[in-house]
Amino acid sequence: MRPPLVLTVSASDSDGAAGIQADIKTFSALGVYGASAISMICAVNTQGLRGTHYLPGDVVRSQIDAVAEDLMLDATKIGALGSAAVVEAVAEAVRTHRERLGWILLDSVMIGTDGTPLISAEGARALRTALLPHVDMLTSNMVEAAQLLGTAPATTIDGMRDQALALQAMGPGTVLITGGRLVGDDAVDVLVHPGGTDLLRAERVPGRHVRGSGATLSAAITAQMARIQEFDRAGELGEIGEEGEHDDVVTIVASAREFLASAIENAEDWEVSRGNGRAFGPVNHLITLDRA
């Protein structure tokens, strides 16, 4: 029997902490086969982003076409796209191959860990109007969610909930806004889904400065969704609810958050950088393999 199969459309990150590299490692750790379409190339290390090199829209589209026309995809994750031309090309590919791409997650990557913009203003508008209405789930941090809505970032959990509901009304059935920028002992994420709204809490890991946590979380969610798509109905896996219940996505997101927390914790002692000062290191995407 073949493994679950996921396509990731995102940037290539030279240090391997985020983007395509983080996605493929996360898929492998969770028993999922990963295919890829590269949207742009980022020259980046633990000290920050040195440069972004956008690919032409038709080059990105050709990669998606090649995969969608041949491979039996269970799910697709869309990450950093960079330019309006690439967003439009990906949106057109989604419309063309919608039935072949499986369940689709959009991770609205707009801002790097060091604060560097990763998408143009035109690209952000295209993301909102051309792509967002055609995906099943959106994951976003607080700043990116506000940018999609054209408003100021939320400052409270209630504000995050309101923005998640507003984004849900734009198309995706499920929206996750991560609340790492809120002040407090716990990190609180807001999950809006067809069954209602859930608040997901986790204790912060003090002193850890990582890059790629958003990519890893969304990749883990997509991998788990791909595993479910293998079955005729939700519920074949013991940890997932009965067919038609809305707790499936809540369970999957909670599981992905646990994977990320473990990946962060188990990279705490890594020394991967020669740089001085505050570096943003990777998480341990292969934690499940380390335990094998």
Residue ranges of E strands in the chain: 5-13, 33-45, 48-54, 75-78, 103-107, 137-141, 174-178, 186-193, 196-203
Residues, the chain: 292
Write down the pLDDT at residue 206: 59
Contacts of 105 (CB under 8 A, 6+ apart): 75, 76, 77, 78, 135, 136, 137, 138, 139, 218, 221, 222, 225
Low-confidence stretches of the chain (pLDDT < 70) are 113-114, 183-185, 204-209, 230-247, 267-279, 290-292
Write down the pLDDT at residue 207: 56
For the chain, give every domain's residue range: 5-270+280-290
pLDDT tens readout for residues 121-165:
888 899 999 999 999 999 999 999 999 999 999 999 999 999 999
Asked if residues 74 and 5 have their Cβ atoms less than 8 Å apart, the reply is yes
Q: What's the rounded Cα separation, in Å, for the pair 268 and 209?
A: 10
Question: CA separation (Å) from 183 to 4, 155, 180, 241, 273?
Answer: 38, 9, 8, 33, 28
Q: Domain 5-270+280-290 sits in which CATH superfamily?
A: Ribokinase (3.40.1190.20)
Asked if residues 9 and 90 have their Cβ atoms less than 8 Å apart, the reply is yes
Q: What's the rounded Cα separation, in Å, for the pair 120 and 111?
A: 10
- DSSP class of residue 181 equals T
Contacts of 181 (CB under 8 A, 6+ apart): 141, 142, 143, 153
Write down the pLDDT at residue 225: 93
Instruction: Locate 278 and state its tokens.
Output: 């505050």
Write down the pLDDT at residue 111: 79
Number of neighbours of residue 257 by Cβ within 10 angstroms: 21
Angle at 288 between CA 81 and CA 204, to 5 degrees: 70
Q: What's the rounded Cα separation, in Å, for the pair 212 and 197?
A: 26
Burial of 150 (0-12, 13-18, 19+ CB in 10 A): exposed
Write down the pLDDT at residue 182: 75
